[in-house]
Structure 1
Amino acid sequence: MTTLAAEREIEHLMTLHPKGFDLSLDRVTRLLERLGNPQDRLPPVIHIAGTNGKGSCAAFSRALLEAAGHLVHVHTSPHLVNWHERYRLAAEGGGKLVDDDVFAEAIARVAEANAGQTITVFEILTAVTFILFSEHPAEAAIIEVGLGGRFDATNVIKRPAVSVIMPISMDHEAYLGDRVELIAAEKAGIMKRGCPVVIGAQESDTALQVLIETAERLDCPTVVYGQDFLAFEENGRMVYQDEDGLMDLPSPRLPGRHQYANAAAAIAAVKAAGFEIGHRAAERAMTHVAWPARMQKLTQGKLVDLAPKGAEIWLDGGHNPGAGIVIAEALAEQEEKNPRPLVLISGMINTKDQTGYFSAFKGLARHVYTVPVTSSDAGVPNDELALRAEEAGLSAEPVSSVASALMLLRDSWDGPAPRILIGGSLYFAGAVLAENGTPPT
């Protein structure tokens, strides 16, 4: 797929408008009015916020709806390799990433409507979402929040079919607040009066209380994980339970026990949005769901060829302490099934709690290679990142690249073939997929 036209449009926007976030809805609201308010002409919207698990919930929701035969649009962010990944348009047989010419034309139209006014690139690209999703037929639209909730550019949707709040933990403190209850209040900002709300598994009782109180104040029909619905493992399968009864399903294709709760939130969300999901469709969804760079097993590619023979390689873009915990738990499960020495190849950006992330792997990882994240201006230098890993109690050394780390491992490894986790940042994970020659499709 050629990406030149859309990439050129976006690169031009980057030179005109500030990078980063500016939390307000005024600019995007003004722009959408000039475009005829396309956000008011969308199919039923599943709107998803949270610190961790948003993308997985979106992937499960898409898999459920498509398995039931529905046409579905999906907006996620950030992308891994190509901007096109943010826009999956409904199609028979499963949604497809937006064509380059369609994408480029929509960007140009939105930029022209903005007429040079002050705005962020993310706000322009969110308006592009609404243009694309309103002009192409679908029966549902899954829209992931970019940052926070209350002032995120996606939060101009007046009547979502359901608002979903996935697990909340500390992240983006500079924008959202330095206490979990403040972050929860920002995420709860996507709730709309009288519209259904699904609250996914929360690690913080304080966050859960804020979410429930907000939903009650807005008279939102609300279902809460662990109270109104849940999922658990039984005999190697996933059992989903809610007021309608039990569904005995295959274990989700996405590895890790945390994916049971993510899958459960998606089932609850799709049902709350008014869609019927039969047992057969739910079974198919669990076995067909895909979400790149979230515990993705790499089995082929240029980087994979550099690894020690027989190595098992996983890629995950999780980048905060909460993500570190669930990734470490997923790898501990793999260790129980098939013991191997674990090695990390990590790159991170400076807005994240690097030591907190690494702490989750203490006692599990044998060694960490730290590499620079060259795809982001905020990348942490590899020598500094090695110090953060050592602060967390891990053995670490800086190297110049993922390829260098894999070759070092290959040339020096002695013993059972290792299990390798490459991760620490979605920017980093995207660069790895590009270098490996296996971008998302």
Structure 2
Amino acid sequence: MNAPAAKPAPPLGELIARLSALHPKRIDLGLERMLRLLERLKHPERMLPPVIHVAGTNGKGSTIAYLRAILEAAGLRVHVYTSPYMVRINESFRLGRVGGGTLVDDDELRAALEHCERANAGAPITIFEVETAAAFCLFAQHAADVVLLEVGLGGRLDATNVIDTPLASVIAPVSMDHTEFLGDTLTAIAREKAGIIKRGVPAICAEQPSEAMDAIEQQARRMHALLHRASQEWHVNVERGRLVYQDDRGLMDLAAPKLFGRHQFDNAGLAIATLRAQNRFKIDAAAFEAGIVNAEWPARMQRLASGALVDQAPQGCEIWLDGGHNAEGGRVAAAALGDLEERVSRPLVVIVGMMANKDASAFLANFAGLTRHIIAVQIPDRDNTMPPDRLADAARQFGMRVESSASVEAALRSLARLAYEVPPRILIAGSLYLAGHVLAANGTPPG
């Protein structure tokens, strides 16, 4: 008699939904629940390879992308934990391999999450805390040379902030965002971000507004951490289209990043400064150049050249996707569009969808001098999204022509029916959740 067929594992979505129900709040900053679970798991966070911990408001993900690409070009195995994911939760967990990392597969991720679920034994805990604990379990089980660990929200009370002595603490640009959790001033927000700085561990910092830098410097002094600041201990510039980096160890003249926008030179510089501030790994100039040139990160001024959505857009148009969702994210996207306009002039249309807790006016103000055409959409399959009419009201105050559309797909089809003398440049922006929907609908999910 044949053995009965094995029962198929339930979809990951069912497990995530069950874990999400363990706490009434999706976001609840604090370390008590996390520390309790890690103790029950026998502290996998203490069995990790050296950790580079990255906080900040904007640029964290791109900086990690450069760090990973450089380290892998140097022949190292790199575990990576990032959030939020675009299409599949697996994107948050990258396991280091010789020759390049791979996303964790469904079976291994399910096993790690269920292991954490059993250890937690039904106690209140946020889904992000469980996911972070699962990342630590996965990374402790697989040999690697280094872990890149992205803060989820803030820093001081974030679930990732349980690593006692990282290899380096990194703070990307700090700006106003998540004020309901982190405080309503740059000083308060920067203090939360600076909470990842550990005693005696080098801290590497991007350029910051003065009040943010003051808070970061205070924490570095308190922790006796050597602070490496952009434009002070290290410098990055664009010269003849190339990235020129300089610190007290010398100068490097490197090719430009593949990721588009002037801000990506700054993010790449932050990654270079981080790796030059540590002494654990020796990175040669060839690895720095290869990493800068090859780093990829989805939905950061990403050009969509083909796919199901592109096929519905005006023929010959350009489509750019950016997950920026706050004032600073809008500023760097607008600056990148300005650079594109100088190269090739096209009419610009911005398709925008945002979460309800974001400052739409502060985001859209950046595009007032670039376009008069905004199409507001609602982010699909998400709670607490901003209604298109509220987005439209925010855009109208800047004298923009505003319309609402049922979806990104419908917006692109409506644009395709217009008679453009020059095919337009289209930016889809306002939320990483919207960006994830766009990548999935276009058939180009991140890998």
Q: Which residue of 2 aligns with 1:207?
A: 212
Q: Percent identity?
A: 50
Where in structure 2 are the equivalents of 1:270-349 lying within 5 Å?
Answer: 270-274=275-279, 275-349=281-355
1:128-172 CA-to-partner distances (Å, cap 9, x unmatched) read: 011011111110000000000000000001001000011111100
1:111 aligns with 2:108: no
Letter in structure 2 aligned against 1:188:
A
What is the CA–CA distance in structure 2 between the aligned matches of 1:384 and 1:352, rounded to whole Å? 11
Deviation at 1:244, TM superposition (A): 1.1
Give the TM-score, by structure 1 length. 0.98
For residue 82 of structure 1, report the CA deviation from its aligned partner.
Answer: 0.4
What are the within-5 Å matches in structure 2 for residues 119-158 of structure 1? 119-158=125-164
1:66-105 → structure 2 map (5 Å cutoff): 66-105=72-111
In 1, distance between residues paired with 2:19 and 2:260?
Answer: 38
Q: Residue 425 of structure 1 is aligned with which of 426, 431, 438?
A: 431
Q: Deviations over 1:259-288 (max 9, x none)?
A: 111101011112223322211111111211
Whole-Å Cα distance in 1 between the matches of residues 194 and 10 of structure 2?
38
- Distance in 2 of aligned mates of 1:76 and 1:4: 24
Gaps of 5+ in 2: 1-7
Which residue identity lines up with residue 192 of structure 1 in the other structure? K
1:170 equivalent in structure 2: 176
CA distance in 1, matches of 2:115, 2:398: 49
**Structure 1 residue 257 corresponds to structure 2 residue 262:** yes
Query: What residue in structure 1 maps to residue 273 of structure 2?
Result: 268
Contact 1:237–1:248 under 8 Å retained in 2: yes
Greater mean deviation of Cα atoms: 374-383 or 185-194: 374-383
Q: Which amino acid aligns with 1:198?
A: I
Match of 1:384 in 2: 390
Q: Secondary structure at the match of 2:174?
A: coil
Distance in 2, Cα, partners of 1:25 & 1:413: 56
Which runs of at least 4 in structure 1 moved beyond 3 Å after TM superposition? 2-5
Secondary structure (helix, strand or coil) at the match of 1:246 reads strand
1:13 to 12, 15, 19: 19
Q: Secondary structure at the match of 1:232?
A: strand
The answer for the alignment partner of 2:189 in structure 1 is 183
- Matching residue of 1:160: 166
Corresponding position: 1:228 with 2:226 = no
Structure 1 pair 14–360 and aligned structure 2 pair: CA distance change class (3 A): same
In 2, distance between residues paired with 1:226 and 1:392?
34
Is contact 1:308-1:413 (8 Å) kept? no
Contact 2:113 2:131 in 1 (8 A): yes
Tell me by how many angstroms 1:19 deviates.
3.9
Q: Distance in 2 between matches of 1:383 and 1:323?
A: 22
Give the C-alpha shift of residue 7 in structure 1.
2.5
Instruction: Tell me the matched-pair count.
Output: 439
Q: Is the 8 A contact 1:349 1:378 kept in 2?
A: yes
What is the Cα deviation at residue 363 of structure 1?
1.1
Name the CA distance, whole Å, in 2 between partners of 1:108 and 1:276: 38
Q: Secondary structure at the match of 1:430?
A: helix
Asked if 2 retains the 8 angstrom alpha-carbon contact of 1:200 and 1:224, the reply is yes
Given residue 214 of structure 2, which amino acid in structure 1 is its aligned partner? Q
Mapping for residues 28-43 of structure 1, pairs under 5 Å: 28-43=34-49
SS at match of 2:345: coil
Once the two structures are TM-superposed, the CA of residue 107 in structure 1 deviates from its matched residue by 0.3
SS at match of 1:365: coil
Q: Tell me the CA shift for residue 413 of structure 1.
A: 3.1
| TM-score, normalising length: structure 2 | 0.96
**Structure 2 CA distance, aligned partners of 1:3 and 1:140?**
31
Whole-Å separation in 2 of the counterparts to 1:57 and 1:259? 8
Question: Which residue identity lines up with residue 386 of structure 1 in the other structure?
Answer: A
Following superposition, the deviation at residue 3 of structure 1 comes to: 10
Matched residue SS, 2:367:
coil
CA distance in 2, matches of 1:308, 1:406: 7
The residue correspondences of 1:42-81 to structure 2 (distance < 5 A) are: 42-81=48-87
| CA deviation string 1:76-103 (max 9, x = no partner) | 0000100000001101221111011000
Contact 2:66 2:291 in 1 (8 A): yes
| CA distance in structure 1 between the aligned counterparts of 2:90 and 2:42, rounded to whole angstroms | 24
Change (3 A) 1:4 1:325: farther
Partner-residue secondary structure (3-state), 1:260: helix
The whole-number CA distance in structure 1 between the counterparts of 2:10 and 2:271 is: 35
Alpha-carbon offset, residue 4 of structure 1: 5.7
Answer yes or no: is the 8 Å Cα contact 1:317–1:424 preserved in 2: yes
Q: What are the superposed Cα offsets for residues 398-417 of structure 1, whole Å, 9 maximum, x if unpaired?
A: 11111111111110132111
What does residue 401 of structure 1 align with?
Answer: 407
Aligned AA (1:122): F
Q: Which amino acid aligns with 1:436?
A: N
The aligned counterpart of 1:373 is: 379
